[in-house]
Structures are given as structure tokens and as C-alpha cells.
Amino acid sequence: MSRPSRPARPAGPTGTGPAGPVVSGRPAHPAGALRPRRSAGDLPRWGLYLPLALYLLFTLVPFYWMLLFALRPAGSTSLVPWPLTSEHFAKVWTERSFGTYFGNSVAVGACSLLMTTLVALAGGYALARFDFRAKRGFTLALLCSQFIPGALMLVPLFQIFAHLRMINSLGSVVVAETVFQLPLSMMLLSGFVKNVPYALEEAAWVDGCGRLRAFCAVVLPLLRPGLVAVGSFAFVHSWNHFLFALMFLSDQDKQTIPVGLNTLMGADSVDLGALAAGGVIAAVPVVVVFAFIQKWLVTGFSAGAVKG
């Protein structure tokens, strides 16, 4: 009888195994075999942080340069704003009427925000919940209207506002801003309403609510991120827009901040300190608003872009 074979001992630091040669207890890759690809988590940290640092540097250097000219004394060439001075801010706020421009911009932005949000909310709900004739054509027209530049509509809008006696009125700028922001705002809110289950409204109807009450009590609270996204977009767009305020407003006490910044640039010279201070005044409110609503803003844009 043949003697039973003895079980093979496990491979040591160097030896052979069922998968081929073994080195230090690990099967070596056969010659010519493809190594597994490295995932994003295997990248070195500098490969991730270096592009982010370069982007951050590219973004923040202009802001630092603006703060440098706004805070350092006139005639100084230092790269550090020391000693700090507020003379440029006092100059643009009092002598250049930036206090009036700031109030006009706030009024135009707030009214544009309110009108755009209300009209876009009604239109977005109708697009999401109702079926009507030419619905596809209407949606296509909304999308195509985004390709029309505002400068192309200046002459028709000027004639309409002239007949309505709205020239040199903040109302003309508010209406123009609202009209040009409505298509995108309506499409965003339409996509957001589609993500709200229709069964929630039906349950409210069964409980005795009408359509308006069910909308206000059930749907509207769920649309808060979308409303924040649309409202912030409308406010920032009207705050920064230059063309409509320049064309429809002629009195200096009715100008907005973008037009006021344009008046700081003379034909022969530019007061860089005053211009930088005006830029800070124009930028700080927008930065503060986005710092407080960034969570709602990202949620609103991402949810409104998903088709329910």
C-alpha cells in the first residue's frame, strides 16, 4: 500500500502557492498581467490640494487687491493695507452719493426678488401640475427666450416704458429685470414642484382643503429651498445688472450701484481708491447673503434640476 501523502506546508516568506509565486505571504502578479487601476482615494494629498490652492489663489487675489486699494492711504504703494484708512469709503458714500445708489439698488433688488418669485411660483406650479394645449411649445419658448440678449430688447422696452411714462423710474428697471429672469426661474421651480409627491395634495383635498389652501399648507413649505435659490438669483442679477439702469434712469438720485461705479471712472484719470471702495460696498452685501443661504441655494438648484 502506498503511504498517504503528507499535507503541503504553507508557503513561507518566499515560496510558491496556488496563485503562483508568493513573496512575503502575498501572491505576486504574473508577468504581463494588468495591475488594478488606482482609485481617486489613492491619489496623494498634494494632487488634490494643489489645484484647489491654485484656484483659491486665482479667486481671492483680485479681492485682496480691491481691499488693498480701498483700505490703504492715497498715494501709498505698500502691499499691506497699513495703516488702515476709511477715507475712500467716506468719499464715495458722501461726495459720490453712494448712499443713494445703495438704497436704489436695494429697492430694485428687493422688488425684483418679490415679483420674480411670485410669478415664477405660479407659472412653475402650472407647468408641473396642469396639462394644457401648447404646453410643449410654451416650454420651448421659455427656453429659447434665454438666447435673446438684453441689449437686443432695449429699443422695444424703451418705447413701451415711454408710452407708459415709466422712463426715469425704478419701476421700469424692476419690470425689465423681472421679465428677463422669469424663464429660468419658472423652469427651476417647475422642476422642484415635480419632486413634491402629488399624493400629498390629494390627501389634503380629501381632508377638505381647497387647491389654494392645500398648496399653501402642504406644497409651499417643501418649496423653501427652491424659493431661496430663485429669489437669491433674482436679487443678485438685478443688483449687478448695469444696462437697464443705465438706459432707463437719467436722474443721478435714481441711479444704482453699477452705474455709480461707472461714474467713478473719468475720461483722463481714475481714482483707484474710491473705485475700490465702491467695489467693496457693492460686493459685501452679496457675499454676506450667499454666506447665509449657501446651503439652501445648493439644495434648491440641485433639486430643481432633477426631473421628478
pLDDT given at position 36: 54
Q: 60 in a domain, yes or no?
A: no
pLDDT given at position 111: 94
Q: 254 in a domain, yes or no?
A: yes
Q: What is the model's pTM?
A: 0.75
pLDDT given at position 251: 87
Number of domains in the chain: 1
Mean pLDDT per 10-residue segment, the chain (308 residues): 51 49 50 54 74 88 88 79 83 86 92 93 89 85 84 89 91 92 89 86 85 87 86 89 90 89 77 86 84 68 50
pLDDT in tens, 173-195: 999 999 999 988 998 888 888 88
- At 305, the amino acid letter reads A
Q: 247 in a domain, yes or no?
A: yes
- At 177, the amino acid letter reads E
CATH of the domain at 215: 1.10.3720.10
Residue 186: all three cell numbers together = 419658472
Q: 40 in a domain, yes or no?
A: no
Owning domain of residue 132: 88-304
Of the candidates 112, 134, 99, the residue with the CA atom closest to the CA atom of residue 253: 99
C-alpha count within 13 angstroms, C-beta hemisphere, residue 259: 23
Q: Give the separation between CA 289 and CA 212, rounded to whole angstroms.
A: 31
